[in-house]
Amino acid sequence: MKLYFREVGSGLPLLILHGLYGMSDNWMNIARILSQKYRVIVPDLRNHGRSPFTEEHTYDSMVSDIHNLVAGLSIDKFILIGHSMGGKVAMKYALSYSGSIERLIIVDIAPKNYGLQANMGEPTTNHRFIMDALAGLKIETCSSRKEIDSLLSEHISIPSLRDFLLKNIRRNSKGAFYWSINLGVLSKALDELLDGFSGETRNSTVLTMFIKGENSNYILADDAFYIRKFFTQSILVNIKNAGHWVHAEQPELFYNTIEFFLDK
């Protein structure tokens, strides 16, 4: 599959992989800052943004997409950053192609099955609830983004979460709204997306930094065991006053943390 991607800067290649419901555009502010030192490439993962829709949505298929993208750009060695679902894609990529990774940065996700996590009732982690809420909206009949936001607020009360989700609405040639994420396929693939590491036996010695948002419950204290099981040369860094979208909530501190790790 040929992914849509954005590219800025020059130097050592650095790939950024967005999370579930995300797209390359979410990361362009960070990408532009990093482009002062690196050739930054930010793809839309399959079934997201401007990349193709497909019935298959697994971590293996996404790893294959990234491998094909890297090969097509004739990149041999690169830095890889992944957030949330994109973080799991990045982890799986590093386990498969560790020789091509210069450094690995995983943002607010752990190598574990989130379907078993007790805090799935939290609004930002209850993905089944989120997907059902989005699928239940008849956005094609709405006349404005404000109207869609009002309907979504009946299910999701957090304005910042609604704003993030509604970045995925577009208008077609007739002016009707539609989703730029493949909700049906993503919903069917949700169990796989929440897991992805059951039965995994490989590990990686790539120098790796896991970044946790202080206010996020995606990485818990007990997860250090799983992190070091799969990524033996890893460190865990906590970003103060940030939730799951660390890069958006604390961009300067997030960038400084990345730079410190990459300059070591």
Tens of pLDDT along the chain (264 residues) come to 999 999 999 999 999 999 999 999 999 999 999 999 999 999 999 999 999 999 999 999 999 999 999 999 999 999 999 999 999 999 999 999 999 999 999 999 999 998 865 444 455 568 888 999 999 999 999 999 999 999 999 999 999 899 999 999 999 999 999 999 999 999 999 999 999 999 899 999 999 999 999 999 999 989 999 999 999 999 999 999 999 999 999 999 999 999 999 997
Q: Which residue do the tokens 């750009």 mark?
A: 73
For residue 88, count CB atoms less than 10 angstroms from its CB and return exposed for 0-12, middle for 13-18, buried for 19 or more. buried
Q: Which residue do the tokens 């007990």 mark?
A: 222
Residue 264: per-residue pLDDT: 75
Residue 115: per-residue pLDDT: 82
Q: Taking the alpha carbons of 225, 230, 231, 232 in that order, is the dihedral positive or negative?
A: positive
Residue 120: per-residue pLDDT: 46
Residue 137: per-residue pLDDT: 94
What does the alpha-carbon distance between residue 111 and residue 224 come to, in Å, rounded to a whole number? 10
| Terminal Cα distance for the chain, rounded | 35
The pTM of the whole model exceeds 0.85? yes
Specify the domain boundaries for CATH 3.40.50.1820 within the chain: 5-118+198-263
Q: Is-contact 27 93, C-beta < 8 A?
A: no
Query: In the Cβ-directed half-sphere of 135, how many Cα atoms lie within 13 Å?
Result: 13
Residue 117: per-residue pLDDT: 58
What does the alpha-carbon distance between residue 22 and residue 174 come to, in Å, rounded to a whole number? 25
CATH code for the structural domain at 5-118+198-263: 3.40.50.1820
Residues 6+ apart with CB under 8 A from 127: 20, 190, 193, 194
